Structure 1
Amino acid sequence: MTTIDDLAKIGTSTWLDDLSRDRLESGNLQELLKTKSIVGVTTNPAIFAAAMTQGNAYDDDIAKLKAERAKADEAVYSLAIDDVRNACDVFKEVYEQSGGKDGRVSIEVDPRISDDGEATIAQARELWNRVDRDNVMIKIPATDGSLGAITEALADGISVNVTLIFSLERYKQVIEAFKTGIRRAEANDLDISKIHSVASFFVSRVDVEIDKRLEKIGTDEALALRGKAGIANAQQAYALYQSELENASDLPEGTNLQRPLWASTGVKNPDYAPTLYVSELAGPNTVNTMPEKTIDATLDSDSLHGDTLSDSAEESAKVLEDIKAVGVDLDDVFVLLEREGDEKFVSAWTELLEALTPRLV
């Protein structure tokens, strides 16, 4: 038994926030499953950019794609889909044993089309069909332009990882998109018991931005609130999940509730405990997707202290009210973080295409 097994007993599944051809071919991913108790994998454009621009694991496939005259964006998805499909096979047994909750591997739509709902749903369908594994999840960002695509994908029976959620207001929209999609899937005579979804709430980036603003304010009251916003915001999201999903009367029987997923859980401030966003966000029916460094820190720690989500609503609400009271505009923070998050993924994707293009001509 490991600390991550203990975390699972509380109700939080641990997914690795990383994937590469090296991890697959070396057997490292299988080893992490066996020895570190991870039960899923998430990817994003930045992860694939790092994987495909380092080492030579992709050289043979890139040479084949060059011979086929593939364009850079086609080549990137060809390489990524192979990795995701193979990772799905690694986690097939976990997927089956968990009834579809875990054993999941996520692949994201092109971040450059996040404002185009029609293009987003078209690519979500394409990725779902090309990966061709029941345990894949298609990542769709929670932007204004893509909310409709989330509903459409779920209505088609596609399991969706909704990403880039920062604010409670946006999360409310995601929950409604989920509910509508599931109701439509049932109306389409699909087996809704096979449809799973997670809502990825970003954590550490919230603290980075709000801590910066608290330090600029500089009062004792403001400085005492550093490192508390990310957890409080996520705990409020969990309270919303409890009220809007756990107690929902407007979902079909057999619905798998969309689980809150804690993303960006590697601490950015070295003064904070490396397991801060693990021990303080442990609770029933959740996922924590961690970089391997955070997984290792969790395995080496005894920081867990039970369910820190279920009864956190009142205290976490007060933390956010205190942060607003000292002068931090939370609405402005969340708008900024969503825009920056989208821009970072677009930038990583663009840099990857630029790096790959010379190797294809």
Structure 2
Amino acid sequence: MNALEQLHTLGQSIWYDNVERGLLESGEMARLIANGVRGVTSNPTIFEKAILGSSSYDQAIAEAVSQRMTVDELYDHLVFHDIRAVADLLAPVYQSSRGIDGYVSIEVSPALAEDADGTVREAHRLRQAVGRDNVMIKVPATHAGIEAVERLIAEGVPVNVTLIFGLTQYGRVLEAYIAGLESRQKQGLSLDVASVASFFVSRVDTLVDKEVSNKKLPTELAGKAAVANAKLAYAHFKTVSESDRWQSLATSGARVQRPLWASTSTKNPAYPVLLYVQTLVGPHTVNTVPPATLTHIEQASEFERSVDVDVPSCRAAIAELESAGISMEQVSEQLLDEGLQGFRKSFDQLMGALTERLAGRPASN
């Protein structure tokens, strides 16, 4: 049993946070899936790096120029090709897991982050255009995004709710999922609608550690926030999934909205490379990892259930940070803003470069 299979026996699915045509053409993506990767996620930054950072898309772009595509058509042409190809590779996982795993995620445009109606329309457009059952639509957990999530779940669209950083924000996401299912229940519709909640981890430590340093707080407060924050989110997940409200949905066929640990590469070289993997293993979880982290997982020897271990000390750590003047609510809001800005920048840079290519000019970057 390899490391990915071992994690799966502990209830955790490893998804791959990367899509690039070269991985598809070389057979590497197929190898990863055969080795135990059970899903794939993408975002605007991943596609910016993939399309602008390799020559794998040059022929497709040249064909688009000859066909006089618009930049929006070209973006869809490039991205949909890769998403469909990954979805087809994951189809056996999707079928054998009965729709628990085997998904590839594609994100709505960052320009729609504050537009609930636009997000719902775009989600349906993406789903229909890609044409694969095992595609999840990624929606950022803004106020408008969470409103859209409830509507999309009610309409039967699988959703990956992304850019979740805080417990209040996560609570709203979980509530939206349940409310969407309850709407379906009232209509007599199937409750088998898949969803994950992408709770970001390492970025929390990056920001909180900076605050610890700036405020000249005790150094032992550093490196504690991210794991504690995630474990408390899981504790809330368990409380909700054990509630009478949820059980009434579960008996009608509903599946839990699994917490998905995102941003799990270690940013601080002083921390163990698998800090955000080894500490967050447990039932009904997903960890979506970038290439380097996946390599470290494959080389690891043993994992054990950890996500619900020592939760009281996690509450104490967060309380200590709060009492020292670090508001986790403000940390969550800042990281959400930064995450949205980063995705908008990547999307705008990619669209700008594609516009230049369509005009017959080499991309400026």
Q: How does the TM-score come out when normalised to structure 2?
A: 0.94
Match runs of 1:292-303 below 5 Å: 292-302=291-301
Q: Name the CA distance, whole Å, in 1 between partners of 2:313 and 2:244.
A: 24
Residue 239 (structure 2) pairs with residue 240 (structure 1): no
How far the C-alpha of 1:246 sits from its partner, in A, is 3.7
- How many pairs align? 356
Q: Name the CA distance, whole Å, in 2 between partners of 1:175 and 1:71.
A: 38
How far the C-alpha of 1:121 sits from its partner, in A, is 0.6
Q: Name the CA distance, whole Å, in 1 between partners of 2:93 and 2:329.
A: 39
Q: Secondary structure of 2:245's match?
A: coil
Q: Secondary structure of 1:100's match?
A: coil
Preserved contact between residue 168 and residue 329 of structure 2 (Cα < 8 Å): no
- The equivalent position to 1:360 in structure 2, one of 346, 358, 361, is 358
Partner of 1:113 in structure 2? 112
Match runs of 1:29-44 below 5 Å: 29-35=29-35, 37-44=36-43
Q: Name the CA distance, whole Å, in 2 between partners of 1:189 and 1:58.
A: 45
Partner of 2:290 in structure 1? 291
Partner of 1:26 in structure 2? 26
Match runs of 1:215-234 below 5 Å: 215-219=213-217, 222-234=218-230
Q: Secondary structure of 2:105's match?
A: strand
Q: 1:246 to 1:287 in 2, by over 3 A?
A: farther
How far the C-alpha of 1:248 sits from its partner, in A, is 4.5
Q: Name the CA distance, whole Å, in 2 between partners of 1:161 and 1:235.
A: 19
Q: Secondary structure of 1:38's match?
A: coil
Aligned residue type for 1:249: R
Q: 1:184 to 1:65 in 2, by over 3 A?
A: farther
Q: Secondary structure of 1:240's match?
A: helix
Q: Secondary structure of 2:272's match?
A: coil
Preserved contact between residue 279 and residue 303 of structure 1 (Cα < 8 Å): no
Preserved contact between residue 142 and residue 164 of structure 1 (Cα < 8 Å): yes
Preserved contact between residue 65 and residue 360 of structure 1 (Cα < 8 Å): yes
Provide Cα deviations, 1:6-46, integer angstroms capped at 9, x if missing partner. Answer: 111111100000001111111110011123x2111000000
Aligned residue type for 1:203: V
Provide Cα deviations, 1:48-72, integer angstroms capped at 9, x if missing partner. Answer: 0001102221122212322333222
How far the C-alpha of 1:303 sits from its partner, in A, is 5.6
Task: Flag as ranges the 4+ runs of structure 1 deviating above 6 A.
Answer: none
Partner of 2:363 in structure 1? none
Partner of 1:328 in structure 2? 326
Q: Secondary structure of 2:223's match?
A: coil
How far the C-alpha of 1:332 sits from its partner, in A, is 1.6
Partner of 1:271 in structure 2? 270
Q: Name the CA distance, whole Å, in 2 between partners of 1:360 and 1:187.
A: 49
Q: Secondary structure of 1:18's match?
A: coil
Aligned residue type for 1:329: S
Q: Name the CA distance, whole Å, in 2 between partners of 1:42 and 1:185.
A: 27
How far the C-alpha of 1:225 sits from its partner, in A, is 1.6
Q: Secondary structure of 2:294's match?
A: helix
Partner of 1:147 in structure 2? 146
Q: Name the CA distance, whole Å, in 2 between partners of 1:152 and 1:235.
A: 28
Q: Name the CA distance, whole Å, in 2 between partners of 1:167 and 1:197.
A: 18
Match runs of 1:249-268 below 5 Å: 249-250=245-246, 251-252=248-249, 253-268=252-267
How far the C-alpha of 1:345 sits from its partner, in A, is 0.4
Q: Name the CA distance, whole Å, in 2 between partners of 1:329 and 1:197.
A: 29
Preserved contact between residue 15 and residue 37 of structure 2 (Cα < 8 Å): yes
Q: 1:298 to 1:54 in 2, by over 3 A?
A: same
Q: Name the CA distance, whole Å, in 1 between partners of 2:149 and 2:69.
A: 29
Partner of 2:5 in structure 1? 5
Aligned residue type for 1:232: A
Provide Cα deviations, 1:311-355, integer angstroms capped at 9, x if missing partner. Answer: 443221111011112221222211110100110000110010111
Q: How does the TM-score come out when normalised to structure 1?
A: 0.95
Gaps of 5+ in 1: none
Aligned residue type for 1:168: L
